[in-house]
Amino acid sequence: MAIPSYATRGERIWHYVFLGLCALIFLFLVGPLLVIIPLSFNAQPYFTFTQEMLTFDPQGYSLRWYQDFFTSSRWLNAIKNSFIIGIASTILATVLGTIAALGLSSRHMPARGVIMALLISPMIVPLIISAAAMFFFFSRINLAQTYLGVILAHTALGIPFVVITVTATLSSFDTTLIRAAHSLGANPTRTFFKVVLPLVTPGVVSGALFAFITSFDEVVVVLFIAGPEQRTMPIQMWSGIREQISPTILAVATLLVLLSMLLLTTLELLRRRGERLRGLTPG
């Protein structure tokens, strides 16, 4: 951004200092990724750059760790569990969170503040406390060490993200559209699917993506509730670091970074689409 011509000398100095601080913060956040990605192509079983890699010798680079990931039954089973649990919990969290957000958006909803606080409490309560509480509760109803138990636990963690994003989308929703649909003879179900849902879809999908990321990246709750058959990818990575250190973890981390970049790009496209639907200009 250009500096205004009327800016004082102090303002110009602060402008460049601010840009430098932003660059340092960005480098601090992205720095680990700049190390992990090239190390995942290391031909040697080391977590450091070899002489061949530093000199850009083709012999120093290899896809062996990616091959090990895609041919290992442990890693493939872990990623299968992560997607099964993540997709199932995302669907449940999206449906329940959207229904809750629609109810909370009504002016006639009693105790809206209390209900909202309860719904977003999994984001506020320390995760270790939530995990311990879920473990004791699920153990009593025989849901510990089951897929259903892990899915329900991840659903509880994902609902707050859906509620917040859909509620934010509904805050700019024009309720006169609902009255117009009713005046034209549309029943509540048809009004929801033809009028409300298309306009809040960006918020719903954004909440679903956040819920999926939360489930896919969860470690603490899975450690408490899951059994050996429900081992997910984060748990496999955590166990690999403790039990068997292998550069395959770096290859997995690189793939997860690419997945995160894809999801963030999707969120940005949805944000721009939502702004266009609301008549705003994407920033």
Q: How do residues 185-214 score in pLDDT, each as one tens digit?
A: 888 888 888 888 888 888 888 899 889 988
Q: What is the mean pLDDT of residues 102-127?
A: 84
Q: What is the mean pLDDT of residues 253-277?
A: 79
Q: Express each pLDDT in 145-181 by its tens digit.
A: 899 999 999 999 999 999 999 888 887 777 788 888 8
Buried b (16+ CB within 10 A) or exposed e, 173-196: beeeebeebeeeebeeeebeeebb
The yes-or-no verdict on residue 60 having pLDDT over 50 is yes
The yes-or-no verdict on residue 282 having pLDDT over 80 is no
What is the pTM (predicted TM-score) of this model? Answer: 0.79
* Domains along the chain with CATH numbers: 72-243 (1.10.3720.10)
DSSP, residue by residue, 44-96: SS-SS--HHHHTT-GGGB--HHHHHHHH-HHHHHHHHHHHHHHHHHHHHHHHH
pLDDT confidence of 228, banded at 50, 70, 90? confident
Find the farthest-apart pair of alpha carbons in the chain and give their distance in angstroms, rounded. Answer: 75
Q: Name the percent of the chain lying above pLDDT 70.
A: 95
The yes-or-no verdict on residue 133 having pLDDT over 60 is yes
